[in-house]
Structure 1
């Protein structure tokens, strides 16, 4: 029997936003996450921030990463056949706290119940949909308590994502066969799956939206770029990659060195871009100590000779003191 490898859970979630300042304010000042890394996008010839938010040390599955594209003027279009929603886990008893906190911050919030969980639906300032899911099961991730959000109410990390599809069958086959996920439940146009690894952020949801226009897949403000999954090691990453390619899903990249982790990208039949990632042993401490995470502008080696261009990026007013 072919070995499908193991997909543990979420590694990180990445999206394209508008302004760097409004993105920082949303994730740090409103959602209470820690800014753990400030660097630039590895790909392309235009300098674009790559901003990372997470818990205290940037553990896998707690990481949200943003590309602010407004300064470059690149716009995306939300639609179907595209990742639709960033879904975050919070303790179930904290839903009321977050409803009030978001409302007081001027964020429009909608309370819903789906698949037996209480949820808050709201949006990033650039329009990307977010959901906070009240988690009733035990979550052993270390919450970030260094801001003004009490640790017992803090965001734990990724719950997963929701992908908009024209029809669910191709993505259903991919999730079951390629990702070894199990279908948990369906409610009308909504379908829920769970990964079978031992990590966090294991829930993937689909929503049927056949009448929406096609969403963009390129970099552009207002869209989710990819959902990265934790595969733990280089050996397991290649095992999962080879298994997926062997099923005939051949739109898969070579391994790419992202400095803090190694990545393989694949386009799913539901349109969402997925990534198979594993962190280096040093993780985010490869260029900053734990106590200094997020306090430097960390330039990838191949960008070092273009620091003057990077200096033209939008300045960000931060809570932490950023050192030159």
Structure 2
């Protein structure tokens, strides 16, 4: 509950207690309760006081005419406006405190029903003669936490920009059926919106599932194609390697070397079956086919050369 509304309810409780007490028997006493309640500085709600049997008894036929108007006066303070008070005859005259209170309450109603809230509109509705009186009333409402507003006297036309209004006006009983109808229509529209949202959510989920299934099927086909391609790529890669080795001659040379064959005739002689290291039957070494002359000598260019004769047959 809003703090301002809670304080207003608390301020009304002493008057409710008086209206429900055994001493509230005469119309004059009840009229005094209404006067004091509407004049108190912190009382801005009056529905609870209006509901008491003592206050409602003012509408009885045997109530003196001078006191019957107090029931209507309290109703105007509860949910009426300053204009309604002026348009209703036979109402009690207001004190200065009651006049200020009713104008403040009327300002709350106008702030929620009138757009834009111009100076001239408020001055006509509240019977204020000057702009200074209007600005003083609005300032009082702001400091009492009844509204949050900003005065704009230099705008064209001069206006009051209200940003929030305290919930201090009571609901007129005759307006309850209309409010119930409006709330029922609002509830129906909310239900339709919720239904539409649920339908849209279901559609989005279904589309997401279809998209996921399609992507999963694509990934499965891609994986299957990759797995089927891998063995073929392995075989083609081996054949290509053999072909490249054959073209370069490295493969043939490597095979010939593995079987003791050189890449030319000289190397073939070097790897002949009689390699010069075999021993004869008498244990003496066979005539070696490898003569090494490592004598010192200087060839052309002044460099030392070593003569090596390898693999020559005797």
Question: Which TM-score bucket, shorter chain as reference?
Answer: under 0.3
Higher relative contact order (CA 8 A, sep 6+): 1
* TM-score, structure 1 normalization: 0.22
* TM-score, structure 2 normalization: 0.22
